[in-house]
A and B are shown apart, each in its own frame.
Chain A
Amino acid sequence: MTPIEIGLISVIAIVFLIYAGVYIPIALGTVSFISIWLMRDNFTLALNLLKVAVGDSAMEYSFATIPLFTFMGLIVSKAGLGRDIYEVMTMRFRKVKGGIGMATVGANAVFAAVTGSSIASASVFTKVSVPQMIAQDYNPRFAVGVVAGSSVLGMIIPPSAMLIIYSFVAEQSVGDMFLAGVIPGMMLAVAYVGAIWFMGRFTPGFVGGRPAEDYELMSGREIASKTLPTLGLITVVLGGIYTGWLTAVEAGATGALVALVIALVRRSMSLKGFWEALLETGHITAAILFLITAASIYSRMLGLAGLPNQLQDMLAGNQSSFFMIMVIYVVMMLFLGTLLDTASIILIVVPLFLPLVEAMDLSLIWFGIITVVGAEIGLLTPPLGISCFVIKSTLNDDRISLKDVFMGALPFAFVMLIVLIILIRFPSLSLAILN
């Protein structure tokens, strides 16, 4: 077998093992290890590559953003910032058809700017938004669907663990990736609101709900106390990065400290809650970075096999069109998205396609945005859709089945796909804020 054949077979083997339930980093690492061993007929060389990858993959300055933004996100969730934003948003939207749905999307978009994970968004809004919607006779499927759909905003609007992971694989600046995510994230939020309006108009049965009778108005003071902490955090983090005053790592650390101060001032955190947030930060960081380490073994294996070079030559010889490559790319992400989590999808497909994108002189920042959006569609699709799982397990209500959550999320997954196509077609949407 030629190295190229071994390389290709190993990609298939990895996907198979992952679907069979092997821990993803172990599947990536083990198959890559064996492939190198076979390819070079050299066991020591395979061991050596493992050593280099384990040694230097985690040793990356920008990776500090992962624990820092994770910590910040956990603190703001515990401090109740998501609930506050939601309350302010629903105040005026209650009388509109699907209004609480729109408010949930809006609150998620704002909350997304202070948390880096979709899990946090999904769990917070399941608790605050779903019960209220059901109380107002909304269709339960619609209620959970809105929360699932808008939870993905957490990982598109910066800060975002996925944008950080991509920036590592493609060697782009984390700060640039963050800034590039702003417009696509807002676009997706607007598209969701539009879709809710559309569904309320044309499929009112799917939405359900009745206008609220009570219409309590908050005082300006109350609104301020509920929104200012979040807006302050957004200003510190995104403002710090945008002006260049802070690197992404520093913005994460400053944001974490500010979030802590907010939680302390509002007396919304116990010492135990604080320690738990730290513990969880560690768990999440270790899981993601070990996955990244294993994925770097995999991408180096592809490099040793010469696969990137080969793909580039193929492209040069074949004149494959931009259109075809993008179709294959999106289909591949949707396919992997059925069963894999977002980070794994990014780490598996990006090394395969990066050489092609580079050869075509396309922007790697734009490519990152479409990768993250494309891979996140998988959060909403069965059989494994993390956002839907989080909602189901947070909900703890037997009347709403996992199937209901997936069915409710489906229209939102479709909206994501349309937004993805627009983002592919118009790269300037992702790049505008950088220039």
Chain B
Amino acid sequence: MFKTAVAGLSKVANAAAIAANALGTLVVLALVLVVNYDVVARGVFSAPFRGAYEVVQFSVVLIVFLQLPDVVRVDRLTRSDGFLNVLHHRRPGLTASIRRIINAISAIFMALIAYIVWPEFIEMYHTKDYFGVPGIFTAPWWPIKLVIAASATLCSLMFALKVISAQDRPHLIRAPEHDEPKT
């Protein structure tokens, strides 16, 4: 019963992380296009896009927090696990416990972030706080806070699931972008 619940939750969480990841990926593309549009509009047509600066800032935050849960999912968060890899060969049980503890700490830390950012999102949703200069370009703050809060919540959940499943494995390096294409 517990096992099926965990498996189900884990499926949902993974699906959410992958979806957010795809969305964040589109933001990367949008960033390339927006900045190039501004460069051309300014240089060739003397008509710079007035919101370029804000849009760039906005998209960086979106990229980071939309992608973070997926980074956690594939275990690519920066770490130095040389010691754990060595230990794994001698004391696999102990190593698994240490990994559980590390994931538990991570879950708590991400939960703290979620806990402090949610109220901020609610508040800014109501006050309609914006950044930028009125009459030039403004954008509301709340979507940023929403993405951060949701992302931290999802990351916390992913770490918690890793505690239960204890499934992260030692690797020399995780850089799938340089893997040979699987044929």
The chain A residues found within 8 Å of chain B, CB to CB, are: 18-26, 29-30, 33, 47-48, 50-51, 54-55, 58-61, 63-64, 66-68, 71, 74, 77, 119-120, 123, 245-246, 249-250, 252-254, 256-257, 273, 275-291, 293, 339-341, 343-344, 383-384, 386, 389-390, 392-394, 402
Q: Is the beta-carbon distance between A246 and B120 smaller than 8 angstroms?
A: no
Smallest distance from the beta carbon of A62 to chain B beta carbons, Å?
9
Query: B60–A58 contact, CB under 8 A?
Result: yes
- A257-B32 in contact (CB<8A): yes
Report B-chain residues with C-beta under 8 Å of the C-beta of A245. 43
A379, chain B: closest CB distance, angstroms: 12
Contact among A20, A66, A402 with B98 in the assembled complex (CB-CB below 8 Å): A20
CB-CB contacts of B170-183 with A at 8 A, as 1s and 0s? 00110111100100
Say whether A21 contacts B60, CB under 8 Å: no
Chain B residue, CB-CB nearest to A285? B63
Task: Give chain B nearest CB distance to A323 CB in angstroms.
Answer: 31
Expressed in whole angstroms, the minimum distance between the Cβ of A154 and any Cβ of chain B is 13
B165 at the interface (CB under 8 A from A): no
Task: Report yes or no: B29 in contact with A290, Cβ–Cβ below 8 A.
Answer: no
**Bound Cα distance A71, B28 (Å):** 9
Q: How large is the interface on B (under 10, 10 to 19, 20 to 34, 35 or more residues)?
A: 35 or more
A60 to B61, CA, bound (A): 8
Residues of A within 8 A of B82 (CB): 339, 383-384
B22 nearest in chain A by CB position: A279
CB of B163, distance to nearest CB on chain A (Å): 13
**CB-defined contacts of A402 to chain B, threshold 8 Å:** 172
Chain B residues, CB < 8 A from A19: 80, 83
Interface bits B10-53 vs A (CB < 8 Å: 1, else 0): 00000000000100111111011011101100010000000001
Nearest-neighbour CB distance to chain B for A60, whole angstroms, equals 7
Q: How far is the CB of A405 from chain B (nearest CB, A)?
A: 11
Most buried by A among B57, B80, B83, B86: B80
Determine whether the beta carbon of B83 is less than 8 Å from that of A21: yes
Assess the B38–A60 pair: CB atoms within 8 A.
no
A139 to B120, CA, bound (A): 60
Complex CA gap A347/B91 in Å reads 32
What are some 27 contacts across the A-B interface (CB < 8 A)?
A: A18-B79, A20-B84, A21-B99, A23-B77, A26-B77, A26-B105, A29-B109, A51-B116, A64-B59, A67-B28, A67-B31, A67-B63, A74-B177, A253-B32, A253-B35, A253-B39, A277-B177, A278-B26, A279-B21, A283-B67, A283-B74, A285-B64, A286-B64, A287-B78, A288-B78, A339-B83, A390-B175
